[in-house]
Amino acid sequence: MRLLACPDKFRGTLSAADACAAIAAGAAAAGWAVSSQPMADGGEGTLDAFGGPNRTTRVTGPLGEPVDARWRLRADHAVIEMAEASGLVVAGGRDANDPMEASTAGTGELIAAAADAGARHIVVGLGGSATSDGGLGALKAMAPLPRFRGVEIEVASDVTTLFVDAARVFGPQKGATPAQISLLTRRLERLAEVYEQEHGVAVGALPRSGAAGGLGGGLAAAGAILRDGFELIAEEVDLYGQIEQVDLVVTGEGALDPTSFAGKVVGGVRHLAEAAGVPVVAVVGTAGEPPDGGWPIDVIDLAALYGEERAMSEAGSLVTEAVSDWLSRR
């Protein structure tokens, strides 16, 4: 019997690659042959889904300090996580961030480095940003933009937020006060006008343009295509083709709730598995209140089985144990 492990990260406890390894160990203990494909929806973990970083470039961090940002290049295909260069973690977290000054310049520098290294297809994963600059820092760092003629840039995001809503929706988690959110929103409104005047792209009306504090819109002004993160990554790694080759799919994430089935990894995997006629189960750190009628797939809830404290502190070993037990009962 063959099993595909394709979870998202368990935020704060396991990377997607670590979750794959834990699932694989449990499946192997139960006598299953296992293949693994770490997944992401455009945020942190996007690099892992493509095989992990293999390059590092020193760029400008969100608050102006130099940072060593990891990225991936294989042949003419590059993968970048904006959080590596312009992330809230890089800025020191919410309390250390300066939401008015945080810049996406480092992300633009990574994109330019990828193009200079010969990349002709660049995937940029958005998520975990410290910024609300509308991508202006990135576009300045990418100048002159004509250098990107012949380079396809695809932006992976799990949100559909519009450009001028970015500060209101995401500003609080980046440390912005109500007064700052108002100022940032006005700045984004003006920037949307500038992008339309200078680049001919009405970013204000584009779904996903508000992702990463408006970086999605800024990159769209430079000619990038904004994509659903899970769909883009699933296509790139041929997830459907991998699912067709197995008898069971095991996905998962840290916290399951009804939004997990709307544009997130668990919901996307479920859709592909059902289309392929392959059963699917999700192993999760904790499951919230299910919708009316219950969860649409089988769920292995670590917190319910072992308690919330152990589910956090021993996530890897408990994933292995729970998957092995569940498979052994099949």
Extract the tokens encoding 248. Answer: 């069971």
Residue 280 is predicted with a pLDDT of: 97
Start-end of CATH 3.90.1510.10 domains in the chain: 46-230
The region that residue 117 occupies, defined by phi over 0 for left and psi between -120 and 50 for alpha, beta otherwise, is alpha
Strands 280-287 and 298-301: parallel
N- to C-terminal Cα separation, the chain: 12
CB of 55 closer than 8 Å to CB of 73: yes
Start-end of CATH 3.40.50.10350 domains in the chain: 2-37+239-328
pLDDT per residue rounded down to tens, the chain (330 residues): 999 999 999 988 999 999 999 999 999 999 999 999 999 999 889 999 999 999 999 999 999 999 999 999 999 999 999 999 999 999 999 999 999 999 999 999 999 999 999 999 999 999 999 999 999 999 999 999 999 999 999 999 999 999 999 999 999 999 999 999 999 999 999 999 999 999 999 999 999 999 999 999 999 999 999 999 999 999 999 999 999 999 999 999 999 999 999 889 999 999 999 999 999 999 999 999 998 889 999 999 999 999 999 999 999 999 999 999 999 988
Please spell the DSSP secondary structure of 257-282, one letter per residue. -GGGGSSSHHHHHHHHHHHHT--EEE
Q: Can you name the CATH fold of 46-230?
A: Glycerate kinase, domain 2 (3.90.1510)
User: CA-CA distances (angstroms) from residue 137 to 103, 171, 268, 303?
Assistant: 5, 17, 32, 42
Report how far residue 33's alpha carbon sits from residue 285's, in angstroms, rounded to the nearest whole number: 24
Q: Which amino acid is at 226?
A: L
Report how far residue 296's alpha carbon sits from residue 60's, in angstroms, rounded to the nearest whole number: 44
Residue 75 is predicted with a pLDDT of: 96
Report how far residue 264's alpha carbon sits from residue 180's, in angstroms, rounded to the nearest whole number: 30
pTM of this structure: 0.93
- 329's CB contacts (< 8 A; 6+ apart) are none
User: CA-CA distances (angstroms) from residue 304 to 151, 223, 267?
Assistant: 48, 47, 21
**Residue 182's beta-bridge partner residues?**
none
CB of 101 closer than 8 Å to CB of 63: yes
Query: Which class would CATH give 2-37+239-328?
Result: alpha beta
Look up tokens 């408006």; give the residue: 214
CB of 32 closer than 8 Å to CB of 323: no
- Enter the DSSP assignment of 158: S
CB of 7 closer than 8 Å to CB of 251: yes
Instruction: Measure the CA angle with vertex 188, ends 187 and 191; round to 5°.
Output: 90
Extract the tokens encoding 227. Answer: 């994509």
Look up tokens 């916290």; give the residue: 255
DSSP H/E element including 157: strand 152-157
Peptide bond into 172 cis (omega under 30): no
Q: Which amino acid is at 3?
A: L
